[in-house]
Each structure stands twice: as C-alpha cells, then as structure tokens.
Amino acid sequence: MYSNLFDSHVHSDNSHDGEHSISFLCEHAQQKNLMGICITDHYELNLNLDQADICLRNSFMETGRARQAFDQRLLVASGIEMGQATRNIEKAESVLRKYRFDFVIGSLHCDRYMDDYAYVDFSGLNVELVLQHYYEEMLELCQWGAFDTLAHMTYPLRYITGQYHIQVDMSQYRDLIAEILRTLADNGLGLEINTAGLRREISQTSPTLEYVKLFRDLGGEILTFGSDAHRAQDLGAGIECAMDMAKEAGFSYFAFFKKRNPRMLRLL
C-alpha cells in the first residue's frame, strides 16, 4: 500500500473520448485517497484544431478553478497530452507559450500513414512496418523534446496484440527504442508507465518492465505514472502496480510536475 498516489494522466470531458467533468473527477480522486491528479486532455497536432483549441481553453480554466476549490484536499495539476507534436511544431510551441501548464505529455497515437491505431483494422496489415514508422516518428518527437514525459511507449500493441492477437517480435526495434530512451534520459525527460493496458485485453502496462529497466540503465531518472482514465471510476487504477514496477526496475523515486518542474516523491 502506498500513501502518495499521483495520477499524472487523466482525461476529462474536454477530451472527445472523456466522460466526466473536472470537478467530478476531482471529487472521485479525493474519495479514492489519491494525493493528486493531473488533467491532461487530448490535443492532436495532426488534426484540425479549431474545436480542440476551445476544449483546451476550457480544460485549462476548469482545472485552475478545481485547483483552488480542492486546495489542501487534493493536488490538481494542469496538463496536456500533445499527440503527434512534430507534425505541427509551430502550433505546438505556440500553445506551450500561451498556457502555463504544470505538465506536458508527449504522445503518438498514429504514424504518418494512418489514423489513430484505436480505429485501424490491423488484420492483413504489415504491422512490423507500422511499428517501424511509429518508433521512427517517436525518436523525432523525443529529439524535439519540448514535453515532460513520453506517454504509453508501446501504444500500438494495445491494438495489434491486445485486440487483433498479432504477435510481434519486438527485438527488431530494440536499438531504435534504446535510442528513444537514451534521448529522453540525456535531455532530462521522463518516461510514463501507463496503466490503461491493465484494464484491457493486453493486460500489461505500457511500457513493460523490460523497457523501464532499459530506461534506468541508460541513465533515465524521471518516471511518471498515469492511469489514462477517461472516466472517474478508472482514476488511479493500476498506479500501485506501476509503483511496484518502478521499484523493481531500480527506481527509488517517481515524479509529478508543477510548473513544468519535476517534484520527486519517494516510492514508499
């Protein structure tokens, strides 16, 4: 049992696929005895952003109000999950200048050749090529590096393996993935252990222990944990498992972020 659970990856109804308001999420987080949460609504740089800009503004303002309302009871941080940022770096950087986020998640939900993997029919596709494109773009994203943590590093496997039951030999990407993790470590960026997969058929975190250890071996110091909850009942889900995994990989601390700076907490 841990007493300092912080869920750094939470979606509200300001995300197209989120169900609950920020105040409702905060009420639930407090009931679950979480120490804090970070609201990280989607902002997908490969898409038209007119609607997303409105949602982002709402998300940021509502998070600020919740922070004040829940003062002393729950830490409420304001964040963003930036998808495919290198497709529109100018816009990504202007958003980061405009809002004073506590925390920025860098993520990839697709590659340059297809839609979000959540909506792709993988049967008959060359999944090895899909993953090659995915990790090549992820390396570019990390070289850009204007975020705080890299989200769900094995996201396509949620669908390729979890949903379509296609087995992939991941060893062919090991050098590329090591380069990604080394780039994060060298630039003082974090790696997320995303627990959403524990609630899905794939039944594993993203990434798994093997990559968390590799990150550590390559000098990585900053780990964040995220349930990727899109509804209140999933808040904090699997975070204790992620904490156990972090310890097993040799970490003594994890991080949450305030004003883009990591606050290190002991894995107690």
Span interacting with Zn ion, options 102-110, 173-181, 197-205, 236-244, rule CB under 5 A: 102-110
Helix, strand and coil content of the chain, in percent to the nearest 5, comes to: 40, 20, 40
Supply the minimum distance, in Å, between the C-beta of residue 16 and Zn ion.
Answer: 11
* 44 part of the interface to Zn ion, by CB under 5 A: no
- Least separation in angstroms between residue 11's CB and Zn ion is 6
Task: Assess contact for 13 and 21: CB atoms under 8 A.
Answer: yes
Shortest distance, CB of residue 129 to Zn ion, whole angstroms? Answer: 22
Half-sphere exposure of 250 (CA within 13 A, CB side): 12
Q: How far is the CB of 182 from Zn ion (least distance, A)?
A: 22
Residue 96 or 218 with smaller CB distance to Zn ion:
96
**Element (DSSP H or E) covering residue 39:** strand 36-44
Q: Based on CB atoms, which residue is closest to Zn ion, 116 or 217?
A: 116
Rank residues 107 and 154 by Cβ distance to Zn ion and give the closer one.
Answer: 107
- Comparing CB distances to Zn ion, the nearer of 81 and 148 is 81
DSSP 164-212: T-----GGGGHHHHHHHHHHHHHTT-EEEEE-GGGGSTT-S-BS-HHHH
255 secondary structure, DSSP code: E
Count CA atoms within 13 Å of residue 257 on its CB side.
29
Q: Which of 14, 19, 7 is nearest to 74 (CA)?
A: 7
- 111: contact with Zn ion by CB under 5 A: no
Q: Does 14 bind Zn ion (CB under 5 A)?
A: no
Does residue 228 belong to the site contacting Zn ion (CB under 5 A)? yes
| Closer Cβ to Zn ion, 149 or 183, answer by number | 149
Q: What residues line the site for Zn ion (CB under 5 A)? A: 81, 107, 228
